[in-house]
Amino acid sequence: MPGRPNKPPDIEPPPPSLTPIPETPDKKALRRLVPTHVTLLLDTWKGAPSPDLLGPFGKAESAFASGDYATTLSSLDVLSIRFAEPRWPSLPEPFRLLRVPIPTPVPPHWDPDHALPVAEKDAKKARRSAEEQLALARGCLAWAAGHGIETGDLAPRLDSAAGRLGDPSGLAPFYDEIDAFWTGLNGRLPAPKAGKAPSAPPAAEAEEA
C-alpha cells in the first residue's frame, strides 16, 4: 500500500531449547547400537557388509548383552570412524549421522553460538541430539516396515516422542518413548550377513631374467 512503511519480514522463532538430562552408559549405548545395526542391514552394502565393519559391531553387540557398556561404546566409536572412511559407500540420510563428525576448521567468531552462555550452548546441543535421535528412529522404522518387520506397536512411540520434543517439562518424557522404541526394535532385527574381506593387492610379478 503506497505510503505504508515497509514491514520487516516475519522471523520464525527458533525452536525452544531443552534442558539436558544425564545420559547413562546403558542408554547411550542403546541409542547408538540399534541404529548402527540397521545401518549394517541397508541395501548400501548389497546384503553383505565387510568383516571390517561387522567385527566391531559384533564386539559391541556382545558387550552390550553382557552389560559392558564401555566396550560397547568404544567399539561403536571404531565403527563411526570406519563409516566415514572413503573406501565405503556413502551412507544415506539419516544414517550418516552415525559417522564420526569431521568439522571444517573455522574461526571461533564465525560460530553463531560462540558467544552464548555455556548453559544455553548445552541446551541447544541437547535439542540437536534429541532431533538426531528422532531422525534415526524414523529412518530405522521406515527400513523395518519396508523389510517385513512388525512395527505396528513401535510407530506410535515415535509419534508420541515427536509430540514431546517441545515439552517444557524437559527431555525425560521424550527419551522414555525413544528408548522404548529402540528396545522394542532391537530384538526384531536379523543379524547382518558377512561379506568377503577386502582382497589383498596382487603380488608384483617377478622380473624375468
pLDDT tens, residue order, the chain (209 aa): 455 555 544 444 455 555 667 789 999 999 999 999 999 999 999 878 999 999 999 999 999 999 999 999 999 999 999 999 999 999 999 999 999 987 677 676 666 766 667 667 667 888 899 999 999 999 999 999 999 999 999 999 999 999 998 776 779 999 999 999 999 999 999 999 876 655 444 444 444 44
Rounded Cα distance, 196 and 53, in Å: 11
Q: What is the 3-state secondary structure (H, E, C) of the chain?
A: CCCCCCCCCCCCCCCCCCCCCCCCHHHHHHHHHHHHHHHCCCHHHCCCCCHHHHHHHHHHHHHHHCCCHHHHHHHHHHHHHHHCCCCCCCCCCCHHHHCCCCCCCCCHHHCCCCCCCHHHHHHHHHHHHHHHHHHHHHHHHHHHHCCCCCCCCCHHHHHHHHHHCCCCCCCHHHHHHHHHHHHHHHCCCCCCCCCCCCCCCCCCCCCCC
Q: Cβ distance 195 to 40 under 8 Å? A: no
Residue 154: the pLDDT is 97
Query: Do residues 194 and 48 make contact, with C-beta atoms less than 8 angstroms apart?
Result: yes
Instruction: Determine how many CB atoms are found less than 10 A away from the CB of residue 125.
Output: 14
